[in-house]
Amino acid sequence: MIIVLVLWLGIVCGATILMTRYSNSPGAEGPAPVWWPADSNLALDGHRPTLLMFLHPRCPCSRASLGELERLLAQVTRRPAVELVFLKPDGTSSDWAETDLWRSASAIPSVKVYSDNDGLETRRFHAETSGQTLLYGPAGTLKFQGGITVARGHAGDNPGRIALQQLLQEGHSEQTKTPVFGCSLFEDQCQKGTAACKP
């Protein structure tokens, strides 16, 4: 019995360590364009900052990113133009991206939701991980890039949301880049229409 109990405790502890390590491991992120790409089909607002968030519609981690975005928008008086860009891999059905996450995003007031066929805009802005958030000024200069959660799928105060709040309210922040915690946008298992992103 003691041997079985020790083995069971070892398995539980090992699984917990692996889950914690994965939860706190940031995803890949490419350097965002320092200027808004001239060939982008997304709209840059010329009068206020524009915030972009790139999302995998089947990434469970990204619900926390959406929650943090809603919290940010509720706290700032200088509200940015917001566009949520949902990846739609080539060859998937027209409604493949329209998941619960898509519907939650669509319910946020004054936010535009964009279906990114074959990830053209996602690649154009060098986003690699779901939840990647970019803030551009009215002139098209990059002000912030990173994530707005503290870990994969975990909501709560975090440097990314605080930095964005400072940028939107005060026009400056000492922190302009944070790690992104979420599912890969372009790994093979995340591209298949029948497979959900790993949790």
| Measured CA angle at 68 (ends 104, 111), to 5 deg | 50
Tell me, yes or no, whether 34 lies in a domain: no
Q: Given a cut of 50, is residue 18 above it in pLDDT?
A: no
Q: Which pLDDT does position 169 carry in this prediction?
A: 94
The reply to whether 9 falls in a domain is no
How many domains does the chain divide into? Answer: 1
The answer to whether position 31 is within a domain reads no
Which of 28-37, 54-63, 165-174, 189-198 is predicted with the least confidence, judged by mean pLDDT? 189-198
Q: What is the pLDDT of residues 140-187, one digit of tens each?
A: 999 999 999 986 555 667 899 999 999 999 999 999 999 998 888 987
- Please state, for a pLDDT cut of 90, what percent of the chain lies above it: 61
Kindly state whether residue 125 falls inside one of the protein's structural domains: yes
Nearest partner of 159 among 138, 141, 142, 180, judged by Cα: 180
- The answer to the question of residue 25 being in a domain is no
30 part of a folded domain: no
Task: Quote the pLDDT of residue 85.
Answer: 97
User: Could you tell me if residue 124 is inside a domain?
Assistant: yes
**Residue 109 within a domain:** yes
Q: For 28-42, 100-114, 177-191, which range has the lowest pLDDT when averaged over its residues?
A: 177-191
Mean pLDDT of the chain: 84
The yes-or-no verdict on residue 131 having pLDDT over 80 is: yes
- The CATH code of the domain that includes 133 is 3.40.30.10
E-assigned strand segments in 42-181 = 50-55, 81-88, 111-117, 132-136, 142-146
Residue 54 is part of which domain span? 45-191
Global pTM? 0.82
Nearest to 100 by CA among 60, 51, 133: 60
99, burial (CB in 10 Å: exposed 0-12, middle 13-18, buried 19+)? middle
Angle value at C-alpha 110, between 190 and 69, nearest 5 degrees: 50
